[in-house]
Amino acid sequence: MSKEKEGPMSLKGKTAIVTGAARGIGRAIALALSRRSCQVVLVDIHPPIQTAELVQKEGGQCMEAAVDVSDYSAVKKAVEEAVAKFDRIDILVNNAAIIHRGTFLDLKPEDWRSVLDVNLGGTFNCCHTVVPLMISQGGGRIINITSIAGKMGDITASPAYGTSKGAINTFTKSLARQLASYNITVNAIAPHAIETDMSAQWSEEKRQEVINSIPLKRLGKPEEVAEAVLFLVSDGASFITGEILDMNGGYLMD
Protein backbone atom coordinates (compact mmCIF):
# COMPACT_ATOMS: atom_id res chain seq x y z
CA MET A 1 0.00 0.00 0.00
CA SER A 2 1.37 3.43 -0.90
CA LYS A 3 2.37 5.97 1.75
CA GLU A 4 -0.35 8.29 0.41
CA LYS A 5 -3.00 5.71 1.32
CA GLU A 6 -1.69 5.22 4.85
CA GLY A 7 -0.42 8.69 5.81
CA PRO A 8 -2.05 11.46 7.84
CA MET A 9 -4.07 12.49 4.76
CA SER A 10 -5.64 9.03 4.50
CA LEU A 11 -9.43 8.93 4.07
CA LYS A 12 -9.64 5.24 4.92
CA GLY A 13 -13.08 4.23 6.18
CA LYS A 14 -14.74 7.28 4.61
CA THR A 15 -17.16 7.42 1.71
CA ALA A 16 -17.52 10.22 -0.83
CA ILE A 17 -20.20 10.89 -3.42
CA VAL A 18 -18.83 12.62 -6.51
CA THR A 19 -21.31 13.79 -9.15
CA GLY A 20 -20.35 14.17 -12.78
CA ALA A 21 -17.70 11.50 -12.18
CA ALA A 22 -17.74 9.96 -15.67
CA ARG A 23 -15.06 12.30 -17.04
CA GLY A 24 -13.12 15.53 -16.63
CA ILE A 25 -12.83 17.20 -13.25
CA GLY A 26 -15.27 14.76 -11.58
CA ARG A 27 -13.18 11.78 -12.66
CA ALA A 28 -9.98 13.42 -11.38
CA ILE A 29 -11.66 14.16 -8.02
CA ALA A 30 -12.96 10.58 -7.70
CA LEU A 31 -9.52 9.14 -8.48
CA ALA A 32 -7.74 11.49 -6.07
CA LEU A 33 -10.14 10.58 -3.24
CA SER A 34 -9.79 6.88 -4.04
CA ARG A 35 -5.99 7.19 -3.93
CA ARG A 36 -6.45 8.35 -0.31
CA SER A 37 -8.39 5.10 0.34
CA CYS A 38 -11.80 6.80 0.29
CA GLN A 39 -14.69 4.70 -1.04
CA VAL A 40 -16.26 6.60 -3.92
CA VAL A 41 -19.81 6.69 -5.24
CA LEU A 42 -19.56 7.69 -8.88
CA VAL A 43 -22.70 9.54 -9.96
CA ASP A 44 -23.24 10.58 -13.56
CA ILE A 45 -26.03 10.72 -16.14
CA HIS A 46 -23.68 8.69 -18.37
CA PRO A 47 -22.65 5.38 -16.78
CA PRO A 48 -19.24 6.19 -15.22
CA ILE A 49 -17.77 2.86 -16.34
CA GLN A 50 -14.31 4.10 -17.32
CA THR A 51 -13.84 5.96 -14.04
CA ALA A 52 -14.93 2.85 -12.12
CA GLU A 53 -12.42 0.77 -14.07
CA LEU A 54 -9.62 3.22 -13.27
CA VAL A 55 -10.51 3.24 -9.56
CA GLN A 56 -10.69 -0.55 -9.39
CA LYS A 57 -7.46 -1.00 -11.39
CA GLU A 58 -5.67 0.97 -8.66
CA GLY A 59 -7.27 -1.17 -5.93
CA GLY A 60 -9.90 1.39 -4.89
CA GLN A 61 -13.50 0.70 -3.92
CA CYS A 62 -16.37 2.32 -5.77
CA MET A 63 -19.99 2.11 -6.76
CA GLU A 64 -21.48 3.36 -10.03
CA ALA A 65 -24.77 5.25 -10.08
CA ALA A 66 -26.13 6.25 -13.49
CA VAL A 67 -28.33 9.07 -12.24
CA ASP A 68 -29.57 12.42 -13.49
CA VAL A 69 -28.86 14.74 -10.56
CA SER A 70 -31.84 16.91 -11.45
CA ASP A 71 -34.15 13.96 -10.61
CA TYR A 72 -34.74 14.13 -6.84
CA SER A 73 -36.13 10.62 -6.40
CA ALA A 74 -33.34 9.06 -8.48
CA VAL A 75 -30.74 10.89 -6.36
CA LYS A 76 -32.47 9.74 -3.15
CA LYS A 77 -32.46 6.12 -4.36
CA ALA A 78 -28.76 6.28 -5.29
CA VAL A 79 -27.89 7.72 -1.87
CA GLU A 80 -29.85 4.90 -0.18
CA GLU A 81 -27.99 2.33 -2.29
CA ALA A 82 -24.67 3.94 -1.42
CA VAL A 83 -25.45 3.79 2.30
CA ALA A 84 -26.55 0.15 1.95
CA LYS A 85 -23.16 -0.63 0.38
CA PHE A 86 -20.76 1.60 2.31
CA ASP A 87 -22.73 2.39 5.52
CA ARG A 88 -21.98 6.11 5.58
CA ILE A 89 -21.44 9.26 3.50
CA ASP A 90 -18.73 11.61 4.77
CA ILE A 91 -18.02 13.74 1.71
CA LEU A 92 -20.24 15.12 -1.04
CA VAL A 93 -18.71 16.75 -4.11
CA ASN A 94 -21.31 18.45 -6.30
CA ASN A 95 -19.49 18.67 -9.61
CA ALA A 96 -22.00 17.66 -12.32
CA ALA A 97 -23.01 20.54 -14.55
CA ILE A 98 -24.06 21.46 -18.04
CA ILE A 99 -23.30 24.60 -19.97
CA HIS A 100 -25.25 26.47 -22.64
CA ARG A 101 -23.23 28.40 -25.19
CA GLY A 102 -24.50 31.52 -26.90
CA THR A 103 -25.90 34.86 -25.96
CA PHE A 104 -28.87 35.82 -23.83
CA LEU A 105 -30.90 36.37 -27.01
CA ASP A 106 -30.10 32.79 -28.19
CA LEU A 107 -31.20 31.30 -24.89
CA LYS A 108 -34.50 29.42 -25.03
CA PRO A 109 -36.60 29.21 -21.83
CA GLU A 110 -36.19 25.41 -21.81
CA ASP A 111 -32.37 25.75 -21.93
CA TRP A 112 -32.48 28.28 -19.08
CA ARG A 113 -34.54 25.82 -17.03
CA SER A 114 -32.40 22.76 -17.77
CA VAL A 115 -29.14 24.52 -16.85
CA LEU A 116 -30.66 25.67 -13.55
CA ASP A 117 -32.27 22.27 -12.93
CA VAL A 118 -29.04 20.33 -13.39
CA ASN A 119 -26.49 22.73 -11.91
CA LEU A 120 -28.40 24.35 -9.06
CA GLY A 121 -31.23 21.80 -8.67
CA GLY A 122 -28.79 18.89 -8.76
CA THR A 123 -26.67 20.49 -6.05
CA PHE A 124 -29.77 21.03 -3.92
CA ASN A 125 -31.00 17.45 -4.51
CA CYS A 126 -27.71 15.88 -3.46
CA CYS A 127 -27.30 18.12 -0.40
CA HIS A 128 -30.90 17.63 0.67
CA THR A 129 -30.65 13.83 0.56
CA VAL A 130 -27.16 13.57 2.07
CA VAL A 131 -27.20 16.20 4.84
CA PRO A 132 -29.56 14.27 7.22
CA LEU A 133 -27.12 11.35 7.04
CA MET A 134 -24.14 13.58 7.77
CA ILE A 135 -26.00 15.05 10.73
CA SER A 136 -26.74 11.57 12.12
CA GLN A 137 -23.07 10.63 11.65
CA GLY A 138 -21.82 13.71 13.50
CA GLY A 139 -20.42 15.72 10.59
CA GLY A 140 -19.31 15.87 6.99
CA ARG A 141 -17.75 17.89 4.20
CA ILE A 142 -19.56 19.33 1.19
CA ILE A 143 -17.67 20.79 -1.76
CA ASN A 144 -19.53 22.49 -4.59
CA ILE A 145 -17.70 23.00 -7.88
CA THR A 146 -18.88 26.36 -9.17
CA SER A 147 -17.11 28.62 -11.68
CA ILE A 148 -15.48 31.97 -12.12
CA ALA A 149 -18.68 32.78 -14.06
CA GLY A 150 -20.57 32.69 -10.77
CA LYS A 151 -18.48 35.65 -9.57
CA MET A 152 -17.83 37.63 -12.76
CA GLY A 153 -20.79 36.76 -14.98
CA ASP A 154 -20.48 34.59 -18.06
CA ILE A 155 -17.50 34.99 -20.34
CA THR A 156 -17.89 32.07 -22.75
CA ALA A 157 -21.40 30.81 -21.99
CA SER A 158 -24.97 32.05 -21.92
CA PRO A 159 -26.22 33.77 -18.73
CA ALA A 160 -27.92 30.58 -17.51
CA TYR A 161 -24.61 28.97 -16.57
CA GLY A 162 -23.14 31.87 -14.58
CA THR A 163 -26.47 32.46 -12.89
CA SER A 164 -26.59 28.82 -11.75
CA LYS A 165 -23.02 29.03 -10.45
CA GLY A 166 -23.59 32.35 -8.67
CA ALA A 167 -26.64 30.83 -7.00
CA ILE A 168 -24.55 27.81 -5.91
CA ASN A 169 -22.03 30.22 -4.35
CA THR A 170 -24.83 31.80 -2.30
CA PHE A 171 -26.26 28.35 -1.50
CA THR A 172 -22.78 27.31 -0.30
CA LYS A 173 -22.60 30.21 2.15
CA SER A 174 -26.20 29.75 3.35
CA LEU A 175 -25.64 26.05 3.96
CA ALA A 176 -22.28 26.72 5.63
CA ARG A 177 -24.06 28.97 8.15
CA GLN A 178 -26.95 26.57 8.74
CA LEU A 179 -24.90 23.37 9.00
CA ALA A 180 -21.90 24.61 11.00
CA SER A 181 -23.49 23.57 14.29
CA TYR A 182 -23.69 20.00 12.94
CA ASN A 183 -19.95 19.92 12.22
CA ILE A 184 -20.58 20.01 8.47
CA THR A 185 -18.40 22.36 6.46
CA VAL A 186 -19.60 23.61 3.09
CA ASN A 187 -17.17 25.16 0.63
CA ALA A 188 -16.92 25.78 -3.08
CA ILE A 189 -14.16 25.80 -5.67
CA ALA A 190 -14.55 28.29 -8.51
CA PRO A 191 -12.36 27.20 -11.42
CA HIS A 192 -11.69 28.93 -14.71
CA ALA A 193 -10.23 27.43 -17.89
CA ILE A 194 -9.56 23.84 -16.88
CA GLU A 195 -8.52 21.44 -19.64
CA THR A 196 -11.59 19.17 -20.07
CA ASP A 197 -14.27 18.30 -22.66
CA MET A 198 -16.15 21.42 -21.52
CA SER A 199 -13.27 23.75 -22.46
CA ALA A 200 -12.43 21.65 -25.57
CA GLN A 201 -15.54 23.21 -27.13
CA TRP A 202 -13.58 26.47 -27.60
CA SER A 203 -12.10 27.33 -31.00
CA GLU A 204 -8.27 27.41 -31.19
CA GLU A 205 -8.45 31.20 -31.38
CA LYS A 206 -10.61 31.39 -28.25
CA ARG A 207 -8.28 28.96 -26.46
CA GLN A 208 -5.22 31.15 -27.19
CA GLU A 209 -7.13 34.24 -26.13
CA VAL A 210 -7.99 32.58 -22.81
CA ILE A 211 -4.38 31.41 -22.22
CA ASN A 212 -3.01 34.89 -22.98
CA SER A 213 -5.43 36.44 -20.49
CA ILE A 214 -4.26 34.21 -17.61
CA PRO A 215 -1.21 35.45 -15.61
CA LEU A 216 0.13 31.85 -15.30
CA LYS A 217 -0.19 31.55 -19.13
CA ARG A 218 -1.75 28.11 -19.26
CA LEU A 219 -4.98 26.23 -18.69
CA GLY A 220 -5.53 24.43 -15.40
CA LYS A 221 -5.64 20.67 -15.01
CA PRO A 222 -8.50 18.59 -13.55
CA GLU A 223 -5.96 17.11 -11.11
CA GLU A 224 -5.29 20.61 -9.73
CA VAL A 225 -8.99 21.00 -8.88
CA ALA A 226 -8.86 17.54 -7.27
CA GLU A 227 -5.92 18.65 -5.07
CA ALA A 228 -8.02 21.53 -3.75
CA VAL A 229 -10.82 19.08 -2.94
CA LEU A 230 -8.33 16.89 -1.03
CA PHE A 231 -7.31 19.92 1.01
CA LEU A 232 -10.89 20.96 1.76
CA VAL A 233 -11.78 17.47 3.02
CA SER A 234 -8.60 17.18 5.10
CA ASP A 235 -8.25 17.87 8.83
CA GLY A 236 -6.17 20.91 7.86
CA ALA A 237 -9.29 22.59 6.49
CA SER A 238 -11.48 21.96 9.54
CA PHE A 239 -11.88 25.71 10.32
CA ILE A 240 -12.77 26.67 6.75
CA THR A 241 -16.44 26.94 5.81
CA GLY A 242 -18.42 29.16 3.44
CA GLU A 243 -15.31 29.76 1.33
CA ILE A 244 -15.43 30.13 -2.47
CA LEU A 245 -11.91 29.19 -3.50
CA ASP A 246 -10.66 30.76 -6.76
CA MET A 247 -8.70 28.50 -9.08
CA ASN A 248 -7.95 30.48 -12.19
CA GLY A 249 -4.19 30.99 -12.69
CA GLY A 250 -4.51 34.54 -11.37
CA TYR A 251 -7.16 35.70 -13.85
CA LEU A 252 -9.45 36.90 -11.06
CA MET A 253 -7.98 37.94 -7.71
CA ASP A 254 -10.69 38.84 -5.25
Ligand X SMILES: NC(=O)c1ccc[n+]([C@@H]2O[C@H](COP(=O)([O-])OP(=O)(O)OC[C@H]3O[C@@H](n4cnc5c(N)ncnc54)[C@H](O)[C@@H]3O)[C@@H](O)[C@H]2O)c1
Q: Which residues have a catalytic role annotated?
A: 161
Q: Which stretch binds ligand X (CB under 6 A): 39-47, 102-110, 169-177, 234-242?
A: 39-47
Q: Which stretch binds ligand X (CB under 6 A): 8-16, 32-40, 76-84, 96-104?
A: 96-104
Q: Counting contacts by CB under 6 A, is residue 163 touching ligand X?
A: no
Q: Which stretch binds ligand X (CB under 6 A): 9-17, 93-101, 226-234, 237-245?
A: 93-101
- The residue sitting closest to ligand X, measured at its beta carbon, is 24
Q: Counting contacts by CB under 6 A, is residue 46 touching ligand X?
A: yes
Q: Counting contacts by CB under 6 A, is residue 224 touching ligand X?
A: no
Between CA 172 and CA 27 the distance in angstroms is 22
Q: Counting contacts by CB under 6 A, is residue 140 touching ligand X?
A: no
Q: Counting contacts by CB under 6 A, is residue 166 touching ligand X?
A: no
| Residues between 5 and 24 that touch ligand X (CB under 6 A) | 19-20, 22-24
**Whether 22 contacts 42, CB under 8 Å:** yes
Q: Total binding residues for ligand X by CB under 6 A?
A: 29
Number of Cβ within 10 Å of residue 214's Cβ equals 17
Q: Counting contacts by CB under 6 A, is residue 79 touching ligand X?
A: no
Cβ of residue 13: shortest distance to ligand X, in angstroms? 27
Task: CB nearer to ligand X: give 46 or 217.
Answer: 46
Of 135, 155, 198, 211, the residue at the interface with ligand X (CB under 6 A) is 198
Number of Cβ within 10 Å of residue 1's Cβ equals 9
| Residues contributing to the site for ligand X (CB under 6 A) | 19-20, 22-26, 44-46, 68-70, 95-98, 118, 122, 145, 147, 191-194, 196-199
